[in-house]
Amino acid sequence: MFQDLASRIPARPLRIIDLGGTSSFWERRGWAGRDDIRITTVNLSAEERRHPNVEPVRGDVTDLRQYGDRSYDIAFSNSVIEHLFTFEAQKRMAAEARRLAGAYWVQTPNFWFPIEPHFLFPGWQWLPITVRAALLRRRRIGSRGPYPDRDASERAVREIRLMTRREIAECFPDATIWGEIFYGLRKSWVAYAGFPEAPRPTPVTDSGAANAAGDPTSGDA
């Protein structure tokens, strides 16, 4: 779906800023190494550059004032906005995504999906923070932990703040909100805006169809 939307933007090379993304993400999709696309990945620590068209930079996705308005064609982010601890930080990142490019695509897991994708624990996000932190001090959960230190375990829990559809809509008031479905449940949300509409086919009249078929005598089917 993203590839289809991006293909509608005529600018080439297509300039994409990936908020919190990695080179490996674009490698898996076959976009790394392409001459018609320029991608800037922004993280708190810049990874090593591996492709001429993917430039890793160091930056804070909630404050990218070093880039002017509409510096890019697309602002993209995949499963990053939920890592910002607070709703206020999430709103700041959303504002930057909307400012930096004429179009944006931001994906994030759904708060109401029963399996938390980072800890792989049913209903993890619905438990009190103190309970989650206590569990994480004692055992590894998903790919994280254990963190015997109390502050470290609580920070690991607070880092992940999954979002509801209402919160996504508040952060991106001009967006279309699309829910990705997994076994009948909404696994994640995508907020996107600014992409041109798909071209519509030109209607063909009966007479046009007849003439195209080589029959100049009649427009009747």
- The 10 Å CB-count burial string (b at 16+, else e) for 104-124 is bbbbbbbbebebbbbbebeeb
In a domain, residue 208? The reply is no
- The pLDDT value recorded for residue 216 is 36
- The pLDDT value recorded for residue 210 is 38
152 and 83 in a common domain: no
In a domain, residue 127? The reply is yes
In a domain, residue 36? The reply is yes
- The pLDDT value recorded for residue 220 is 35
105 and 29 in a common domain: yes
In a domain, residue 25? The reply is yes
In a domain, residue 210? The reply is no
In a domain, residue 23? The reply is yes
Place of tokens 């991006």: 6
pTM (predicted TM-score): 0.87
Across the chain, mean pLDDT equals 91
Average pLDDT over residues 117-125: 95
Question: Residue 174: which domain range?
Answer: 2-112+161-197
- The pLDDT value recorded for residue 200 is 62
CATH code for the domain in which residue 78 is found: 3.40.50.150
Pick the residue with more confidence: 53 or 203?
Answer: 53
Tokens (6 digits) for 191: 């907020």
Share of the chain above pLDDT 70, in %: 90
- The pLDDT value recorded for residue 24 is 96
Segment 178-221, tens digit of pLDDT: 999 999 999 999 999 999 987 665 665 544 443 443 443 333 33
130 and 84 in a common domain: no
104 and 73 in a common domain: yes
Contact predicate 186/113, CB 8 Å: yes
- The pLDDT value recorded for residue 217 is 36
Where residue 114 falls among pLDDT bands split at 50, 70, 90? very high
174 and 67 in a common domain: yes
Segment 58-98, tens digit of pLDDT: 999 999 999 999 999 999 999 999 999 999 999 999 999 99
